[in-house]
Amino acid sequence: MKDSKTLKHFTQTALQGLFGLLPVVIIAVLILWLYGKIDLLVNWAFEIVGFTPENNQFLWFMLVIVIFLLILYVIGHLMKTRLVGFFESLLAKIPGYSTIKDIIGIFNSSKEGENKVLVVAIRGFANEGYNIGLMYSQKESIIKDHYTVTLSMSPIPNGGYMFEVHRDNIFVIEEATFDDNLQYLLSMGVKSFAEIIKSESKKLDELVLLSDWLEANR
């Protein structure tokens, strides 16, 4: 019995480590891949003009870093302009692009406006009390005054349930993020949500009602 509990504890802790490390690994792999592509491109460009990277290793490294950062800046700037809409309209014709884009967008908790991922407390899924869930969009449901809320599974949050909830039963936890909710799910409740977001426990009327949040963020 003790061995079983030990194995269960080890498995759960290992899964928490995996999901905690996964975003870092994905970002690192992406950065290294982009760096490699830019390095090849710059190498090809300067070989044409007779520049020899082997004789100027430090200068070469700094040049690639500068170009890499400039490309990221330009891409980030374009994301705020209408020009990105033109490119997206072309890419949207590629099968599966829109679906992949939406899935990646879920994990971006720094969005603004109607696409911001909100962490919310929902009334009505138990005889008493509240559940903590996510709103991936603040667009109104097919049912008037209702909004789509997702309750994820624990400890592996790759599944869950979607509900259409009346706005008067949804309260926004403004200081919480998607990542905070992920930590909460992975902890299986061992950590309280207040502990994760480093906040004191609050009364319900101290949270922001969804209708008030929508009004303030129009």
* Other CB atoms within 10 Å distance of the CB of residue 24: 9
102 pLDDT more than 80: no
Measured CA to CA in angstroms, residue 148 lies from 10, 49, 143, 163, 175 at distances of 35, 57, 10, 6, 20
Does 23 sit behind a cis peptide bond, omega within 30 degrees of 0 on the bond before it? Answer: no
Ranges of each domain in the chain: 2-81, 112-216
Residues 170/149, Cβ–Cβ less than 8 Å? yes
Mean pLDDT for the chain overall:
75
pLDDT digits (tens, 9 = 90+) for 137-164: 888 999 999 999 998 888 777 778 899 9
Encode pLDDT of 57-98 as tens digits.
Answer: 666 677 777 777 777 777 666 666 655 566 666 666 666 555
- pLDDT tens across 176-209, in order? 888 888 888 888 888 888 888 888 888 888 899 9
- List the strands of the sheet with 146-152, edge to edge: 160-166, 146-152, 130-135, 118-123, 170-172, 208-209
Q: Following CA atoms 9, 11, 12, 14 in sequence, which dihedral angle do they give, to the nearest 10 degrees?
A: 120
